[in-house]
Structure 1
């Protein structure tokens, strides 16, 4: 009862993450670690303690997620000890008892696979408990072969079954297709493998295999089930409440895709607190599988985009798209300015004075733009502007300076 109560207390809410202490192993490729005393203890973390992205862009990840750690799911004489992440690293001076040992793992099991936890002494005896994570294991199962084209496509989106032969010692394991459906427990796997790799080999994988692993599509950020957006995104056009803020309606609002902070999200977000890029862009991306979608400015993010500029400190790689193609209040998908070169040249032309020539300075910009997307971009009118006074030069005649720095008066668009 203590184990079930602690499991419900720490891992019951949707906003929880569980993992074994092996995630702290500094040398995971080795069979054992001197710095990790109990690698198979199961720990529980809060999924997030605050907003994903801080306004000042500071780091949101701490090694081991220690600020989010809640407890190890094991017994202990000191009720506060499991809340210390180091208790799984350094061991414990408490009276330890082995709960998973040779009887479960077989005689050839690695010491790191054994589970030892502190004993809790009571007036009438003692007890100990450990919670193992079935969600950390591969499920021993078998899936039917897809029969039509649609089932084949759907089968590619998820791993239908686990390949037991990939595990150490099970490369020669042969199991009939109908057997996995009849195996009710891990212990029954020993019978299935009796004629193959042997029961002891199966026992060594107690922490790797299960017949009962299942999951829930929970939203670990906000709680509840994850939202299925397929019915919304399959529509030819989005409902108006999913994006009304644009140049024609600057006071519009957009239905949020997630909460802006730890507070309960509002029904809509307006221009001053944008929530994400755009439902319209998400809709367009989703529609790629059927060859694209409606390219009208159905909705926009409430962030005006600007024309590109190349300042002395850093470039802005967004292009100013023609207003006839996209709403100027939207965030358009654009190519990236990846390289700019200026090619200087001179040419001789006859002067008005007979027998004399004038030399003209040629300045030719070479611009390379890159499409970072895996689909074709249909761009509107793109231009690059070289501002007046952007280029200065000196001229020499017979190695003698003819005049000092001069500005090239350029204000043309390329």
Structure 2
């Protein structure tokens, strides 16, 4: 058998296998090379992203750091650059290139020793802005604008880094500028926000061993305060509580809403259907309705969906104090004492005491912090106290919304009040229980007198028969008193009141156009004859009555005519159910046959008798002696009859006074000029058949016979405006005056005209006018009572005027501003709304809170204010000499707001929640 060689059969396999493996390896190598290239590219891209993220984090960290450093201290304030508008009188922002930048300023004023921007010098302007009179300008105090490129602030910019001022910095769009807010977010180019890009750098090692710095991207940032925007992202927790106007449920929604209503934002036509749903961002409104888009773009800088803040005292530093903890807590039924919080080295928190003052330094500890001598503040006797706030807040425990009622709450009586001149001063011993204006701590709720006047008719009737017949003159007085309840609760005058009214009761008249036929028509006083000093002093009793909220009752005579009683004042009672009528009046007859004043009782027989030989048919007022026939005083005083419901002059003196008002230029220190009617202006002398006859209805008194006072009207009479500049009579009864005051008189800084009736204060006498006629001033019958309007005629168009709201259970005190309804002063020259108002007091300079020049040497009431030393004494009598140690004329609103708004806040919790917090 022949043998075969097997190796020859598989020749060439190794070569093929080798080539195949090489091809496979080549493919693997190529694949790895491709993968490597892709990985390098990917890593480079991610590296760039990481650099961008790192730059963004760096920018964010720097922005937060700048924010913490510049706005972290309590006394730093964030301000929009738009506030630095060079022309605030126009709507456009002028003189600011970057109006949306946010700047930082400090409330500290380092030129002042204690660092406070305020200083107090009671001998030179009182509480003042220490920056006044210096070169201080807020635009120069901005230490930084929180934008990229300003890192470190104005004082730390060095070298090539230049500080960017929002007013002047011009940033045209380019490589180094980033437009953070642009189209898509806003429409108006003025709303664009541009900031400078900050380039980050990287240290790089070159192949030749050198190092170089190369750009490594950049960052840009901008900070804006959301607290200056409308918060559209917060739903109101009270929204689902329906408002019930009968019981006050749901009133928190109206008084203290927590959200911003979209429909009040211009351009937002429709809000979300379910208002309990949060708006995540302002742009959510474009999802709700496409019609909102333009409004969203236009309000980018005005809306936010998130904001929060620290409740700190920006003026003095530290946290604000929760005033609710004081108002809603008690100590055995009295106002609580919230103690100071201290550590061993200092007082960390000054508490609240019921005796702390609402104006001036509250207590000695505050005074020390503010570098003020507490014993030299010259406000200590008249400053209201925090106990007054507590008592006001706790009225909520008594009253319910919708219907509430209160009796008279008279003010505290000043027992042992100083009285000089042997007790015979301006009060003539008739105000022995005066209202106490010092350190108010209790609540007073009393009606406001808006009108106190009389009209008169003259009548005559025969006396005797035959040749002995004479004609007697009768004066018919028509009193008219307006009482206004300015509160939101009905006021029960559960005891009668007595009004003392002092007018010109020493007038003379001319009959039938004959200068030789005259008579005196005196009335009032303490004698039935001409009573000189007291002539014109009359007393009217006002019955117990309940005045609904905001209503003004007009009291007048009712029933048959009655004789004016100068001894038993209860006989001169008025009523408010019947309309004034010419057949209902108080009368006085002039029957003296032998009078010592015969020179003024002129007629054809020259007999010194008040009886007349003929019956006159017409009359006009004409003073026969300006010295004898001018009013000795113009005033009114209202008292609450606690002791004697049938008062006499003796009992009147010991009743508690509610209001004393001097409407006299000289406080009764000299005769006021009497009125003379124009020639040709005459009234009718009504002819009666006898002393039992009366003037019939439909015979109203002449308009010029009106004498008395009223609160100035919103639109004054043409006769008043015609004598004076029309603007002179435009007053703000609630803005600049305190109609609830117990003491009303002229002060040295009142405007005055140079002729009677002088037009000073908020209560005015009138120039004669047909606008004040009987018919024009007819009251309106409403719910069984005759009603009027406090600031004009009864038909002015407003039925009721509620000016002040007492707290109720349902509402309470929802905010500090709601405390504006509280009365803080007993003087008429302070504002009605003190807390929360920003109306400057026109009686003091704009640079301080007290007058810098006191007229004369009599503590403000002197000849420099149209008076004499005697007048000054009388005005000092009215205010019980308190000006000797206290400023009575000062900007009370500024003082009390200075103490409250920076130091305190109120919470929205219930009374129990707040009480638990306080504990």
Q: TM-score range by the shorter chain?
A: 0.5 to 0.7
Structure 2 runs not aligned, ≥5 long: 1-60, 110-115, 157-161, 203-214, 338-352, 400-405, 420-428, 453-501, 509-518, 521-593, 599-604, 610-623, 639-655, 674-869, 879-919
Instruction: Compute the displacement of 1:73 (Å).
Output: 1.5
Task: Name the counterpart of 2:225.
Answer: 133
Task: Name the counterpart of 1:278.
Answer: 385
Root-mean-square deviation (CA, aligned residues, Å) is 5.6
Deviates more, 1:353-362 or 1:115-124: 353-362
TM-score, normalisation: structure 1: 0.63
Q: For residues 27-86 of structure 1, what are the alpha-carbon distances to aligned partners after superposition, in whole Å with 9 as ceiling and x for unaligned?
A: 6865x5452211111122324642546423386387974465443222336855499999
SS at match of 1:3: helix
Q: 2:272 aligns with which of 175, 178, 190?
A: 175
Q: 2:145 aligns with which of 56, 60, 72?
A: 72
Instruction: Compute the displacement of 1:101 (Å).
Output: 1.5
Q: For residues 296-345 of structure 1, what are the alpha-carbon distances to aligned partners after superposition, in whole Å with 9 as ceiling and x for unaligned?
A: 8699xxxx9989xxxxxxxxxxxx99574555754698999x99987864
Q: 1:100 aligns with which of 148, 166, 181?
A: 181
Task: Give the Cα–Cα distance (whole angstroms) in 2 for the partners of residues 264 and 392 of structure 1.
Answer: 49
Task: Name the counterpart of 1:165.
Answer: 263
Cα 1:163–1:352, aligned 2, differ >3 Å: closer, same or farther?
A: closer
Q: Contact between 1:51 and 1:262, CA under 8 Å: does it hold in 2?
A: no
Q: For residues 166-193 of structure 1, what are the alpha-carbon distances to aligned partners after superposition, in whole Å with 9 as ceiling and x for unaligned?
A: 334321x352316833x54456x26734
SS at match of 2:144: strand
SS at match of 1:17: strand
Task: Name the counterpart of 2:326.
Answer: 232
Task: Name the counterpart of 1:35.
Answer: 95
Structure 2 counterparts to residues 242-281 of structure 1, below 5 A: 242-243=354-355, 256=363, 259-260=366-367, 263=370, 276-281=383-388
Task: Name the counterpart of 1:350.
Answer: 595
Deviates more, 1:156-165 or 1:83-92: 83-92
Q: Contact between 1:10 and 1:16, CA under 8 Å: does it hold in 2?
A: yes
Q: 2:657 aligns with which of 359, 379, 382?
A: 379
SS at match of 2:634: strand
Task: Give the Cα–Cα distance (whole angstroms) in 1 for the partners of residues 379 and 138 of structure 2.
Answer: 28
Cα 1:355–1:282, aligned 2, differ >3 Å: closer, same or farther?
A: same
Q: For residues 87-125 of structure 1, what are the alpha-carbon distances to aligned partners after superposition, in whole Å with 9 as ceiling and x for unaligned?
A: 2222247954322112543xxx11111111233345444
Cα 1:45–1:157, aligned 2, differ >3 Å: closer, same or farther?
A: farther
Task: Give the Cα–Cα distance (whole angstroms) in 2 for the partners of residues 222 and 168 of structure 1.
Answer: 37
Q: 2:301 aligns with which of 207, 220, 231?
A: 207
Q: Contact between 1:24 and 1:64, CA under 8 Å: does it hold in 2?
A: no
SS at match of 1:87: coil
Instruction: Compute the displacement of 1:272 (Å).
Output: 6.2
SS at match of 1:9: helix
TM-score, normalisation: structure 2: 0.32
Q: Contact between 1:74 and 1:117, CA under 8 Å: does it hold in 2?
A: yes
Task: Name the counterpart of 1:364.
Answer: 631
Structure 2 counterparts to residues 120-159 of structure 1, below 5 A: 120-124=198-202, 125=215, 126-141=218-233, 142-143=235-236, 144-146=239-241, 152-159=250-257
Cα 1:273–1:132, aligned 2, differ >3 Å: closer, same or farther?
A: same
Q: Does 1:197 align with 2:309?
A: no
Deviates more, 1:14-23 or 1:140-149: 140-149
Instruction: Compute the displacement of 1:135 (Å).
Output: 1.3
Cα 1:53–1:357, aligned 2, differ >3 Å: closer, same or farther?
A: farther
Task: Give the Cα–Cα distance (whole angstroms) in 1 for the partners of residues 597 and 408 of structure 2.
Answer: 60
Cα 1:131–1:305, aligned 2, differ >3 Å: closer, same or farther?
A: farther
Cα 1:383–1:119, aligned 2, differ >3 Å: closer, same or farther?
A: closer
Cα 1:380–1:293, aligned 2, differ >3 Å: closer, same or farther?
A: closer
Task: Give the Cα–Cα distance (whole angstroms) in 2 for the partners of residues 206 and 59 of structure 1.
Answer: 38
Q: For residues 194-217 of structure 1, what are the alpha-carbon distances to aligned partners after superposition, in whole Å with 9 as ceiling and x for unaligned?
A: x53365753443222222123343
Task: Give the Cα–Cα distance (whole angstroms) in 2 for the partners of residues 166 and 328 of structure 1.
Answer: 44
Q: For residues 330-386 of structure 1, what are the alpha-carbon distances to aligned partners after superposition, in whole Å with 9 as ceiling and x for unaligned?
A: 4698999x9998786455673499967598824424536799xxxxxx835848697
Q: For residues 272-312 of structure 1, what are the alpha-carbon distances to aligned partners after superposition, in whole Å with 9 as ceiling and x for unaligned?
A: 6767532243344445554599878699xxxx9989xxxxx
SS at match of 1:202: helix
Cα 1:256–1:389, aligned 2, differ >3 Å: closer, same or farther?
A: closer
Task: Give the Cα–Cα distance (whole angstroms) in 2 for the partners of residues 277 and 68 of structure 1.
Answer: 36
Structure 2 counterparts to residues 51-90 of structure 1, below 5 A: 52=118, 54-55=120-121, 56-57=124-125, 60=129, 65-66=138-139, 69-76=142-149, 79-81=152-154, 87-90=165-168
Instruction: Compute the displacement of 1:222 (Å).
Output: 3.0
Cα 1:306–1:131, aligned 2, differ >3 Å: closer, same or farther?
A: farther
Task: Name the counterpart of 1:218.
Answer: 312
Task: Give the Cα–Cα distance (whole angstroms) in 2 for the partners of residues 324 and 330 of structure 1.
Answer: 17
SS at match of 1:259: helix
Q: Contact between 2:71 and 2:78, CA under 8 Å: does it hold in 1?
A: yes
Cα 1:271–1:186, aligned 2, differ >3 Å: closer, same or farther?
A: same
SS at match of 1:88: coil
Cα 1:91–1:326, aligned 2, differ >3 Å: closer, same or farther?
A: same
The structure that has the greater radius of gyration is: 2
